Amino acid sequence: MMSISEIRKMTKQSLKGNWGLAIGGMALAYVILMAVSMVNFIPVLGTIAYYVFAGPFMIGATWFFLALSRQEKPEIGYLFSGFKTFGRNLLAAVLVFIFTFLWSLLFLIPGIIKSFSYSQTFMILRDDPNISPLDAITESRHRMNGHKGRLFGLVLSYIWVFFIPVIIMMVLGIIAAATTAMFDYGYNSYSYDYYSSVPDMSPVFLIVFVLGYFLMLAVLFGLAIWIYPQVLVACAVFYDDLYASTGTFGDDPDMGTYTTTVPEDDTTFGAIPPVDPTPPEEPEAPHFENKTWGADSMVDPAVTPEPEATPATDLTGPESTVEETHDDTISEAVRPSQPVDHEETTEQKNDDEQK
């Protein structure tokens, strides 16, 4: 995101070679608005007619300087581009005016703050022809969250020079009023003889005040021609920089939240965790401690015991028995050794004798 100084440099680059177009567009817009304001002398209907014309026209002027900041070389006729979508632009201008006016009823400062919140509405209408006026106002408000102070500082960095002639005019007015009151008081007081001998300088101060007043008006007019186009172009550069930093709404119009770029390490609710390209290692199979029934030694899981040969049993002998081998290793079936059933051996012997 660009700083205020960087935006000012970008503004100078945008106006390089376009100063005549910028000044001519601003002067023409001012003259047209002043001429249309004459209808305000008509009660009610004149005021309504003025705002019906001024709303789309001011939007077209905003689009003109936005195109100028993007080096699009707009024509002077582009000032009237706001009338192409007359109904939408008029509704947007009316809504912005109503919302700002309602916030101003609380106090002057909330109205100023909200005017900065809605400052991106007209430019959003140009870049998104399908957006509704209310959605444009809402998007402007979301984009300006945390950036109203930066826009205020940008505008203040240009208009602070207007305070110099205004302060001079105030000082001249105070001096003229003080000298006039002083001489009037002297002539009407008991010291008339003293003040009658002093020349009356109030007309001189009055003339100086009038000349200084008109001189400062000329200075203000010159500053307006030089500074106001820079303010409009700087606001357009600020808009492009803000759009590149904050983005826009999601594709789903029913979404109630404002979506921006989600960082990779975001773990908030609803965020998609990053996918690790390397598959996780499979956990090793657990090793169980196996030992024979009654044996004291443990079986090493890393060593697989070799199966032992089963001792041969001679079933022909009359008193043959099954010999069992007891060892500390796992038995043949890895289960506790059991004695051979005596009844089974007897039945086997009888069967052999009959054969």
Over residues 293-319, the pLDDT tens digits come to 444 444 444 444 555 545 444 444 444
Give residue 156's pLDDT band: very low, low, confident or very high (50, 70, 90): very high
For 138, residues 6+ apart whose C-beta sits below 8 A from its C-beta are none
pLDDT at 125: 95
C-beta separation of 78 from 63 below 8 A = yes
Q: What is the pLDDT of residues 55-103, one digit of tens each?
A: 999 999 999 999 999 988 889 999 999 999 999 999 999 999 999 999 9
For 140, residues 6+ apart whose C-beta sits below 8 A from its C-beta are 117, 118, 119, 120, 121, 124
Q: What is the pLDDT of residues 119-137, one digit of tens each?
A: 999 999 999 999 999 999 9
User: Over the chain, what is the mean pLDDT?
Assistant: 74
Give residue 268's pLDDT band: very low, low, confident or very high (50, 70, 90): very low
- What is the C-alpha to C-alpha distance for residues 298 and 292, in angstroms, rounded to an integer? 9
The angle formed by the CA atoms of residues 134, 135 and 141, to the nearest 5 degrees, is: 95
Q: 177 — phi, psi (to 5°)? A: -70, -40
